[in-house]
Amino acid sequence: MKRVRLVVAYDGTNYCGWQLQKNGETIEGVLNRELTALLKEPVAVIGASRTDAGVHALGNVAIFDTENRMAADKICLAVNQSLPEDIRVQSSEEVPIGWHPRKANCTKTYEYRILNRRIALPTQRLYAYFCYYPLDVERMRQGAAFLVGEHDFKSFCTAKSHKEDTVRTIYRLNIERDGECIVIRISGSGFLYNMVRIIAGTLIQVGRGVWPPEEVEEILAAKDRRRAGQTAPAVGLTLVGMEYETELSQWQHSQNADWEYHILQSHIKTDETAYFLIRRCCKEDWERLICRNIHHAFQNGAKRVFLVDLEKERLQEGMQYGYYRIDRANWQEPGGGLPLLGDEERKQIQQICTGAKEPGAAEPEWYCAVDGGRDKGKMNFSL
């Protein structure tokens, strides 16, 4: 058995999206059919992004498992012989059997194209949204700047489930005019249902002068879908590509109006340990912030997360956050201190702690998050 990763490009015009549907043909359905015929065994691909009807892609990623002995890098060439002209597998390669496109850390990049002229061009009708109102790109850029970073994007998604965590990170959001075409290019850790199209629809309103750029910040803070603009049509959207992380960064930092935290990740691979320092967090986001970041650290390979609340000391032994139990950190190091860390890392953590506490305040108390489904007891360390 081997696992094969595909990079797939397609024109989504004639399809009911990526995911299998009962009422029409989909990209996933076509790939399953043609790979099954090629490899002479049942094949079911799993896609990284389940694009909607009419959405295009230059680099969606999918995997499937196979017993066939055909070389993984030859599968793309072979299956392209039978695929319709509007679907092409750009590459195929073998990956570790445990690799999954939706669980690995990834930066996704989308483009939304707007044809901004007085009269539509028939040759652009399938690949760009036509807007005859003059759009001010500089105003759109000013509004877009409020969306960069880690935020709760509840205002910018069509709810599929009230239980879904609506926090996402946008790394870059650029808007450029190329002649009569305006291109919104957005890269992030992942996107909610219709998130990119709602962002596009909102920025179009800003570009038209309906809203000032500062309205975007208020829409974001409202966490109310009714405040944002309309969902822009699918026709202008293209999934450009996905860049998978090969190595964890040493630190992860996040800061916005609702929270600020720091996570040291450099010991996840070597010691299965992460350090999570919360400088501040509003009451409404506290539990989700804890659950989300501990779970992400465990997904990356941690089996314990040392954490400290530098704002209000809301952590207590025996608390349960999702799958994870909070224990008291019992350092077995002379004079106390943080285990496993080098001198520079200790210094960085101390600077964060010192900058957060009031003068004369006691040292903050550390706790340890472990898998609550296992009887691990308290985590003891000796150096």
* Residues with active-site annotation: 52
How far is Cα 309 from Cα 276, in angstroms, rounded to an integer? 9
How many CA atoms does the CB half-sphere of 197 hold within 13 Å?
23
Residue closest to 247 by CA, chosen among 177, 300, 294: 300
> Cα dihedral angle (283, 288, 289, 291), rounded to 10 degrees?
130
What is the Rg, in whole angstroms, of the alpha carbon atoms belonging to the chain? 24
Tokens matching residue 79: 């299956």
The 3-class secondary structure across the chain, one letter per residue, is CEEEEEEEEECHHHCCCCCCCCCCCCHHHHHHHHHHHHHCCCCCCEECCCCCCCCEEEEEEEEEEECCCCCHHHHHHHHHCCCCCCEEEEEEEEECCCCCCCCCCEEEEEEEEEEECCCCCHHHCCCCEEECCCCCHHHHHHHHHHHCEEEECHHHCCCCCCCCCCEEEEEEEEEEEECCEEEEEEEECCCCCCHHHHHHHHHHHHHHCCCCCCHHHHHHHHCCHHHCCCCCCHHHEEEEEEEECCCCCCEEEEECCCEEEEEECCCHHHHCEEEEEEEEECHHHHHHHHHHHHHHHHHCCCCEEEEEECCCCCCCCCCEECCEEEEECEEECCCCCCCCCCHHHHHHHHHHHHHHCCCCCCCCCCEEEEECCCCCCCCEEEC
Rounded Cα distance, 103 and 298, in Å = 11
Distance CA 194, CA 190 (A): 12
Tokens of 141: 């850029």
